[in-house]
Structures are given as structure tokens and as C-alpha cells.
């Protein structure tokens, strides 16, 4: 057998072992719970812009972007722009390695603050970034995003804006159909469902009202998507448990 295939088969075995290890799973939940109390996800940046993600999920997204080779990544929620810059830089690397040359990132946010817009537009990776200001679930914004997709056939979607159940469910209904076969709709911050209520006491979301509950409801009527549990099993630490949705048909 090819040495790389041997290595890959060992990785699959490793992931299955992690998935079955109750103690490791429990330790991971404890770690996530306690570090969330200290705003852990705010500690990182990508090429100079705050990214507000776990490093583990950043690695997972790199792997997906390399394997899918998308020519369009749609992201709802922009904040400081770190995720847009990350995605654009991955597309730049893909292009340098022979991937889609004109691949781009489209970001949507209800409020792109002036200082963030200025910093994003001044970044070297802005050449692959477009932004739309407006509610991601407003009909005119949905229509504009759909029109942007027309020229692209490999689409990856990331949802990371308002984390309430109804908002995320509306985003899933609007944007998941744009995902190409074999690609993903990644729903961030499904971890909210697994965290103590008091961590999000100042937010309009919490247990029973969050991205994970929206994912569960969405999947009941959309068999074309499945949760790729292997990603969260190998990461152990992720803000998106049950959030890596793969389009399988």
C-alpha cells in the first residue's frame, strides 16, 4: 500500500478512537466551557485582522478549502474581517498551486463599521473580497447574493452572524441551497447549545435558541445535507459541533 494511504488509514483509526473515548470528549467540553468564560475565541488574528475563531476550526477550514477548491466562499458575519481575509488568503494559495484563479469571497453583514471596512479594503487580500451591507435574511440581500453566485460552480458557505435559532434557520434556507455537491455549509457557534446559560445571559440566544437547534430543524427537511461528525471528532475543540454540514446529494 502507498505510504500516504497507510498514513491516512491511521488517521481514520485515530479519529474513530477519539470519537469513542468518553473521557476525552468530556475533557474537551470542560475545556471549551471554561475557556469561553475568558473570551478565548477573541485572542487570535489572521494576517493582522482579528478572526474570532478557535485555531482548531481555522485548520479545519483550511483543509476544506483545499479539498473543495471553491471559486466562491460566502460568509455571513464580517466583524473585523479576519475570516474574510483568512478565506481570501486560502484562495490565493489555492490559485498559486493551480486552483481557481478568479476565486473570491463574498461577505454579508448588517453593519460593516467604517473602521473595519477601511482596514479590510486596505488589506492585500481585498483583491479577492466583496462585501454587502444589510441583513443576511432580507429578501433583497438574499437576491443579491444569489445573483453573485451565477458565475460560480463550487460554492462553500459559512454562517456566523446573528446566532438566534430563527435567524440561522432563515440563513440556512436562503444559502444552503447554493452549496455545491460535495462542498459544505459550515454553521459556526453551534457550541452555544452545550454551554451553561449564564455565559450568554447578555445575548438574545442561549440553550434551545441557537445555531445548533436551527441545524437540527433544518436537517429534518433537507436530506441533501449531513453532519460530517468526523471533523468535530478529530478537532475535539470546535465552536461548530454538528455544524459542519456536507452536501451529499
Mean pLDDT of 71-92: 98
Q: Predicted confidence band at 198 (pLDDT cuts at 50, 70, 90)?
A: confident
Q: Predicted confidence band at 202 (pLDDT cuts at 50, 70, 90)?
A: confident
Q: Predicted confidence band at 152 (pLDDT cuts at 50, 70, 90)?
A: very high
pLDDT of residue 197: 86
pLDDT tens digit string along 203-243?
999 999 999 999 999 999 999 999 999 999 999 999 999 99
Listed in sequence order, the residues at least 6 apart from 240 whose beta carbon sits closer than 8 Å to its beta carbon are 57, 186, 187, 188, 189, 190, 191, 232
Number of Cβ within a 10 Å radius of residue 172: 23
Residue 91 confidence (pLDDT) above 80: yes
Distances (CA, A) of 206 to 137, 162, 167, 171, 203: 20, 12, 13, 18, 7
Look at 18 and 151; give whichever has higher pLDDT. 18
Domain covering 22-247, topology: Rossmann fold (3.40.50)
pLDDT of residue 151: 84
Alpha-carbon distance of 60 to 244, in angstroms, equals 10
Within 13 Å, how many C-alpha atoms sit on residue 28's CB side?
20
Q: DSSP assignment of the chain, as one string?
A: --HHHHHHHHHHHHHHHHHH-HHHHHHHHHHHHHHHTTTGGGG-EETTEE--S-HHHHHHHHHHHHHH--SEEEEE--TTSHHHHHHHHHHHHHHHTTS-TT-EEEEEES---HHHHHHHHHSGGGGGEEEEES-TTSHHHHHHHHHHHTT-SSEEEEE-S--SHHHHHHHHHHHGGGSPTT-EEEETTGGGGGS-GGGGTTSS-BTTBSHHHHHHHHHHT-TTEEE-HHHHHHHSS-S-TT-EEEE--
Alpha-carbon distance of 129 to 189, in angstroms, equals 23
Could you tell me the end-to-end alpha-carbon distance of the chain, in angstroms, rounded to an integer?
A: 31
Q: Is the whole-model pTM more than 0.95?
A: yes
Q: Where are the domains of the chain?
A: 22-247
β-bridge partners, 227: 245
Amino acid at each position: 500500500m502507498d505510504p500516504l494511504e497507510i498514513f491516512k488509514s491511521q488517521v481514520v483509526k485515530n479519529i474513530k478512537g477519539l470519537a469513542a473515548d468518553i473521557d476525552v470528549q468530556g475533557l474537551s467540553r470542560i475545556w471549551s466551557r471554561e475557556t469561553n468564560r475568558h473570551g478565548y475565541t477573541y485572542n487570535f488574528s489572521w494576517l493582522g485582522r482579528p478572526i474570532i475563531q478557535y485555531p482548531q476550526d481555522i485548520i479545519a477550514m483550511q483543509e476544506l478549502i483545499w479539498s473543495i477548491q471553491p471559486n466562491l466562499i460566502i460568509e455571513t458575519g464580517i466583524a473585523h474581517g479576519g475570516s474574510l481575509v483568512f478565506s481570501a488568503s486560502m484562495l490565493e494559495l489555492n490559485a498559486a498551486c493551480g486552483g481557481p484563479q478568479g476565486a473570491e469571497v463574498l461577505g454579508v453583514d448588517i453593519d460593516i463599521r467604517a473602521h473595519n471596512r477601511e482596514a479590510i479594503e486596505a488589506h492585500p487580500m481585498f483583491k479577492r473580497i466583496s462585501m454587502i451591507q444589510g441583513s443576511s435574511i432580507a429578501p433583497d440581500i438574499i437576491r443579491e447574493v444569489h445573483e453573485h453566485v451565477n458565475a460560480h460552480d463550487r460554492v462553500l458557505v459559512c454562517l456566523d452572524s446573528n446566532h438566534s435559532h430563527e435567524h440561522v434557520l432563515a440563513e440556512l434556507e436562503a444559502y444552503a441551497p447554493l452549496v455545491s455537491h460535495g462542498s459544505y455549509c459550515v454553521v459556526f457557534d453551534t457550541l452555544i447549545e452545550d454551554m451553561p446559560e449564564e455565559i450568554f445571559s447578555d445575548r438574545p440566544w442561549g440553550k434551545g435558541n441557537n445555531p445548533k437547534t436551527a441545524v437540527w430543524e433544518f436537517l429534518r427537511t433537507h436530506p441533501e445535507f449531513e453532519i460530517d461528525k468526523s471533523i468535530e471528532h478529530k478537532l475535539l475543540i470546535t465552536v461548530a459541533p454538528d455544524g459542519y454540514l456536507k452536501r451529499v446529494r
